[in-house]
């Protein structure tokens, strides 16, 4: 079985539970919005009171299989994306944790198609039971559509040539179907790249984000957290690239200030809904032990009291 090392494990759980996780408090519900391979969930369960509960979400069928290994009556998981936080009752959660990284087993499984390091089908879907694969989309998208995705979600300056190369290849030899075919094609177009970075890195990131609707789902889940969190509840988000972190940073900043209506200058301002608490990066020791942690950023905020 492929192993996954959870990034910022202790820091995230400490931030989520805070200091008020002692037994004897009223029963509370906690949310692991991105179960992955269960590292955070297992650590949370080890610290919860017997009367507390933990609800997890994940789209990946393999994550659901892994979750079935947890034999704890306090734990349940939903096979759906974390945008479905919005389905939970208002003010029902004492804390919400979102770990936005993909797991090592996903990356290291050739059949999932997430990595250019292995030859496998060009899939990249988080939920392999539904939706369109990357190969299926690339077989019908035009050069402009491909370029826009690679530019917007990969911040790739060679997006235009990549889009044209994919369409030319499709017209001459048929659609791309494997990760190696895509990586090799991108390498013929991307002539310069940061030291140590594969030329296809940004393209693979962009296609994965797009095919799974990751940024849209993140925005929906963050918005839902405002409703789901109880006053004083913690929102903990770990992101792994600048596009995600920018969304999280701007969301917290937006809701961490009072909002004045310029059309009604004498009306009371809308109160702040979040209080920003901290920004944390992995330690040098953690990055040395797990290089995939190097780009992680954890942001923490607290739901403020809702005025009567």
3-state secondary structure of 84: helix
Tell me what percent of the residues of the chain surpass a pLDDT of 90: 80
Asked if residue 94 lies in contact with residue 31, where contact means CB atoms within 8 angstroms, the answer is: no
Q: At what angle do helices 242-255 and 214-228 cross, to 10 degrees?
A: 30
Query: Residue 170 pLDDT > 60, yes or no?
Result: yes
Q: Domains in the chain, please, with CATH? A: 9-104+214-303 (3.40.50.150), 108-209 (1.10.150.170)
Tokens of 256: 């961490």
Evaluate whether 272 touches 258 at the Cβ level (below 8 Å): yes
Task: Specify the pLDDT at position 26.
Answer: 87
Give the pLDDT confidence score for residue 192 in this predicted structure. Answer: 74
**Mean pLDDT lowest for which of 17-26, 156-165, 169-178?**
17-26
CA dist list (Å): 147 to 108, 154, 189, 196, 201: 27, 10, 13, 24, 15
Write out pLDDT tens, residues 80-106: 999 999 999 999 999 999 999 888 778
∠ CA 189-191-196, nearest 5°, is 120
The per-residue pLDDT of the chain, averaged, comes to 91
pLDDT band, very low/low/confident/very high, at 107 (cuts 50, 70, 90): confident
Q: Is the pLDDT assigned to residue 2 strictly greater than 50? A: no
What's the pLDDT at 191? Answer: 81
Q: What is the pLDDT of residue 151?
A: 98
pTM of the complete model = 0.91
CA-angle at 47, arms to 41 and 50, nearest 5°: 100
């Amino acid at each position: 079985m492929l192993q996954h090392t959870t990034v910022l494990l202790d820091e995230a759980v400490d931030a989520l539970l805070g200091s008020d996780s002692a037994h004897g408090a009223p029963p509370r519900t906690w949310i692991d919005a991105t179960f992955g391979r269960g590292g955070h969930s297992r650590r949370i369960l080890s610290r919860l009171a017997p009367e507390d509960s933990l609800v997890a979400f994940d789209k990946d069928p393999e994550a659901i299989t892994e979750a079935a290994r947890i034999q704890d009556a306090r734990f349940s998981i939903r096979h759906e994306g974390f945008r479905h936080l919005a389905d939970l009752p208002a003010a029902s959660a004492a804390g919400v944790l979102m770990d936005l990284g993909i797991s090592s087993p996903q990356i290291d499984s050739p059949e999932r198609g997430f990595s250019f390091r292995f030859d496998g089908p060009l899939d990249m879907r988080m939920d392999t039971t539904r939706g369109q694969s990357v190969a299926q989309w690339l077989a019908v998208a035009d050069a402009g559509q491909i370029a826009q995705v690679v530019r917007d979600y990969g911040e790739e300056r060679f997006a235009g040539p990549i889009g044209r190369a994919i369409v030319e290849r499709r017209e001459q030899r048929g659609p791309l179907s494997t990760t190696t075919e895509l990586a090799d094609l991108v390498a013929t177009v991307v002539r310069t790249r940061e030291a140590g970075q594969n030329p296809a890195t940004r393209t693979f990131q962009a296609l994965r984000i797009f095919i799974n609707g990751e940024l849209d789902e993140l925005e929906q889940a963050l918005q839902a957290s405002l409703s789901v969190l109880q006053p004083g509840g913690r929102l903990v988000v770990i992101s792994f690239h600048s596009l995600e972190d920018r969304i999280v940073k701007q969301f917290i900043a937006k809701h961490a200030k009072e909002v004045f209506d310029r059309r009604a200058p004498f009306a009371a301002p809308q109160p702040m809904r979040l209080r920003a608490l901290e920004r944390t990066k992995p330690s040098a020791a953690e990055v040395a032990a797990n290089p995939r942690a190097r780009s992680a950023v954890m942001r923490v905020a607290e739901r403020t009291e809702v005025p009567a």
